Amino acid sequence: MTITTTGLAPKRADELEHLLGSLADPANPTGATAILAADERAEMLTAGESLLHSYGLNAEFVPPELGGRLERADHLAEVMRSLYRRDPALGLGYGASSLIAGVTLWTAGAAPQREHAARLLLDGHRIAIAFHELAHGNDMAGTEFEATAAPDGLRLSGRKEVVTNIARADAMVVLARTDPGSGPRSHSLVLVDRASADPARLTDLPRFSTVGMRGVQLGGLRFDDLPVPASAVLGPVGSGLETALKALQITRTVLPAMATGILDTGLRLTVDHLSARRLYGGPATALPHVRSVLAGVFADLLRAEALGAVGARALHLVPGAASVYASAVKFEVSRLLLEAMDRLAELLGAHFYLREGPTALFQKLLRDLAPVGFGHIARAACQMSLLPQLPLLARRTWTRHGTAAPADLYALAEPLPPLPYDRLALHAGGRDPIAGSLHTLLDEPWAPEDADLRDAVAADRAKLAQLACECGQLSPVELGVGARPEYYDLVTRYVRLLSRTVCVQVWRHAEPGNFLADPAWLRAALHRSAREPHRPGPLPAQVEDTLLTELLDRRDTGRSFGLTGRPLAV
Amino acid sequence: MTAGNRDVHTWLTERVATYLRRSPQDIDTSRPLADYGLDSLTALAITADIEDEFEVTVDDALTWDHPTVDALSAALSGLVGEKRV
Ligand SMILES: Cc1cc2nc3c(=O)[nH]c(=O)nc-3n(C[C@H](O)[C@H](O)[C@H](O)COP(=O)(O)OP(=O)(O)OC[C@H]3O[C@@H](n4cnc5c(N)ncnc54)[C@H](O)[C@@H]3O)c2cc1C
């Protein structure tokens, strides 16, 4: 079955954008003024939550067969960007945390569990995802929270901490130890229904306060021998880590993809500010250095969204390889966003530091962005999860022609089959159709004026071969928790080649007439991701001009700066 | 290299020994691979080796459910035997 929704963005994304209204309008209850006031109070934006409630945002997180609108992961990211563009705390605190719980349920839940969860979400309730314990951070296998067998089911004991919405969620998915052993079959996911749970055995911990995402209700919960029925376990007992590693490939891909909305607004605020600002007798945007940074950030936003979009489409089309692509997206998109926002902050100068005035939203967006690098999974943990896959990728794909990906992987407007939750895998078994396409790309037709691009592809192919040589030598034993730091650089090199290939493919598959079919953005993307001892220098003049013209045109016509260039309610 | 008629158990022991840069005699095949430093994520690589060697397709979590050379061999012997006919 193929879903008929086509296009870079679904129609409903425009609807939501319109409902949320203008950021700049001080009278808009979901505009920047109200958002900043809620942030100062460390509260969720109430008007935003009730708007999303009546819009039925939660349906975005529920598969169609259960009554929701979660048809396409790339469309989900685009819809959610409307929130991240305004108030990332709404994005995470109203939405994304229920999505994380949702994907574990759609992946491993039995029919009654899935139906129950879908009903909760569609009725506007929340489901928290309680993995984290302060004592263990990213070390999921270190989880101490226990589920012990009892005659009538299980008893839950322990603490979960720094968990979004745990105090106000109607249900939660908890990662619990079901076996004292150390192996990967020692944990299970348990769906806990708060309404039917004995309140005497649950104690809410005080709220955690944070630097960014200040409105998000981060709480903790202590369980004292809480009885739950055996039917609360998702999938077989002992499958908790397996389910988490599979299902969270979806969220590790789409959460960073959503967060590009933050950079979109950051870029708009900066361009607005600097075009109005007069320095040395002209607008600040006339300064060559300013123009160069703006064009570079625009290019970085485009390549971040390209990688996010292809990663999201890979979940549908090549789910067996998504373990590699999800970690790559999380690692690279978060880096691009964090670095780009820092460069914009430099351009804004003192105005990025002000908590008032027309640029005040920037400092909040900068603080709210930070968890994209460490939340859900740390960037370094993504590197570690990719490391043991490298020798196999080298052997099975990088050194020879392998199976090509379906062309629709890169043709972003094409429809997608449903998300195949049951085909996500713990590892890709060395199959990497995206980087593998470097072998065939050179044989495809290239216009003479694109010879420089073809040369770049040829050079990348040689680099992939070199990387394959180095990785093929490694034993998996060296690539575990104790892996040497220099091996982490192998992952960085791989992800760079992967994301460059993604950009080339998105350009080749773009619809004629679309800006994505213009080689200027690809030249910029390749230039910015070139491997050099120092940071890449300024873009070639012609490329910079094309990008800046497009950037300013999108600003003047109120369109987004990402892949879709959609009209926004700015 | 093909396995020929070599026993799955012998092949697996040698494979693991190569990974550990030890000799096969030094591997206690009844001990969990994790004891030798093949933790849950790194042990997954063995499934691809098995697939390449015996031309079979195995479950991605095979090494999680059968965490020793002995257990893996037992789980594989049926599968590999079937494919060889
Ligand atoms: C806004 C927000 C919302 C959150 N919501 C939730 C939620 O809803 N549910 C939930 O369960 N949790 C939630 N969390 C918790 C979040 O997931 C944890 O903060 C995070 O995963 C814990 O890790 P840590 O940052 O303490 O890092 P640690 O794991 O303690 O890391 C310490 C250092 O070790 C490094 N490191 C860790 N692992 C590796 C590795 N494998 N290889 C190399 N280096 C490594 C890290 O990079 C870091 O430098 C939330 C946190 C925030 C800030």
Rounded to two decimals, the ipTM of the complex is 0.89
Taking an 8 Å cut-off on Cβ atoms, the answer to whether A185 and B38 are in contact is no
A137 Cα–ligand 1 center, Å: 5
Taking an 8 Å cut-off on Cβ atoms, the answer to whether A391 and B60 are in contact is no
Six token digits for residue B73: 């061999």
Q: What is the pLDDT of residue A451?
A: 97
Q: What is the pLDDT of residue A480?
A: 92
Q: What is the pLDDT of residue B81?
A: 64
Q: What is the pLDDT of residue A87?
A: 98
Residue A4 has pLDDT above 50, yes or no: no
Dihedral through CA B6, CA B7, CA B8, CA B12, nearest 10?
A: -80
Residue A99 has pLDDT above 70, yes or no: yes
Taking an 8 Å cut-off on Cβ atoms, the answer to whether B38 and A477 are in contact is yes
**Phi–psi pair at A172, nearest 5 degrees:** -150, 150
Give yes or no for a contact between A390 and A479, defined as CB atoms under 8 angstroms apart: yes
Give yes or no for a contact between A418 and A2, defined as CB atoms under 8 angstroms apart: no
Q: What is the pLDDT of residue A537?
A: 86
Could you tell me if the CB of A381 is within 6 A of ligand 1?
yes
pTM for the model stands at: 0.96
Taking an 8 Å cut-off on Cβ atoms, the answer to whether A183 and B42 are in contact is no
Residue A232 CB partners (closer than 8 Å, separation 6+): A153, A154, A190, A191, A192, A193
Could you tell me if the CB of A376 is within 6 A of ligand 1?
yes
Domains and CATH numbers, chain A: 11-125 (1.10.540), 129-237 (2.40.110.10), 243-556 (1.20.140.10)
Share of chain A above pLDDT 90, in %: 94
CA-CA distances (angstroms) from residue A411 to A179, A415, A547? 46, 9, 22
Q: What is the pLDDT of residue B84?
A: 46
Residue A512 CB partners (closer than 8 Å, separation 6+): none
User: Which among A183, A427, A481 is the nearest to B67, CB-wise?
Assistant: A183
Distance CA A426, CA A326 (A): 12
Higher-pLDDT residue of A410, A181: A410
Residue closest by Cα to atom 13 of ligand 1: A163
In order, the DSSP letters of A363-388 are HHHHHHHTHHHHSSS-HHHHHHHHGG
Residue range A82-106: mean pLDDT, rounded: 97
Banded model confidence at residue B80, pLDDT cuts 50, 70, 90: confident
Distance CA A518, CA A525 (A): 12
Residue type, A559: R
Q: Residues in chain B, how many?
A: 85
Residue B2 has pLDDT above 50, yes or no: no
Residue range A489-497: mean pLDDT, rounded: 97
C-alpha atoms less than 13 angstroms from C-alpha of B18 in its C-beta half-sphere? 12
Q: Are strands A127-130 and A171-177 parallel, antiparallel or unpaired?
A: parallel
CATH number for position B45: 1.10.1200.10
Residue range A307-311: mean pLDDT, rounded: 98
Number of domains into which chain B is organized? 1
Could you tell me if the CB of A129 is within 6 A of ligand 1?
yes
Q: What is the pLDDT of residue A555?
A: 97
Residue type, A229: P
User: Which among B21, B43, B45 is the nearest to A392, CB-wise?
Assistant: B45
Q: What is the pLDDT of residue A531?
A: 79
Pocket-testing residue among A100, A374, A382, ligand 1, by greatest number of atoms within 8 A of Cβ: A374
**How confident is the prediction for chain A on average, in pLDDT?**
96
A328 Cα–ligand 1 center, Å: 17
What is the domain extent for residue B73?
5-84
Lowest-confidence range among A38-52, A143-157, A317-331, B1-15? B1-15
Taking an 8 Å cut-off on Cβ atoms, the answer to whether A477 and B37 are in contact is yes
A182 Cα–ligand 1 center, Å: 21
Distance CA A433, CA A402 (A): 7
A244 Cα–ligand 1 center, Å: 15
Distance CA A169, CA A129 (A): 10
Residue range A8-31: mean pLDDT, rounded: 95
Banded model confidence at residue B5, pLDDT cuts 50, 70, 90: very low
Please count the residue pairs, one from chain A and one from chain B, whose beta carbons lie less than 8 angstroms apart.
66
Residue range A495-520: mean pLDDT, rounded: 97
Taking an 8 Å cut-off on Cβ atoms, the answer to whether B38 and A480 are in contact is yes
Residue A15 has pLDDT above 80, yes or no: yes
Share of chain A above pLDDT 70, in %: 98
Residue A563 has pLDDT above 90, yes or no: yes
Q: What angle do CA A370, A372, A375 make, to 5 degrees?
A: 95
Over residues A354-407, the pLDDT tens digits come to: 999 999 999 999 999 999 999 999 999 999 999 999 999 999 999 988 778 899
Over residues A539-558, the pLDDT tens digits come to: 999 999 999 999 999 999 99
Residue A245 has pLDDT above 80, yes or no: yes
Residue B82 has pLDDT above 90, yes or no: no
Q: What is the pLDDT of residue B3?
A: 45
Is residue B34 less than 8 Å (CB to CB) from chain A? Answer: yes
Higher-pLDDT residue of A446, A404: A446
Q: What is the pLDDT of residue A368?
A: 98
Residue range A227-246: mean pLDDT, rounded: 97
Over residues A108-125, the pLDDT tens digits come to: 999 999 999 999 999 999
Residue range A25-36: mean pLDDT, rounded: 98
Banded model confidence at residue A332, pLDDT cuts 50, 70, 90: very high
Could you tell me if the CB of A380 is within 6 A of ligand 1?
yes
Residue A535 has pLDDT above 90, yes or no: no
Residue range A302-311: mean pLDDT, rounded: 98
Pocket-testing residue among A162, A221, A255, ligand 1, by greatest number of atoms within 8 A of Cβ: A162
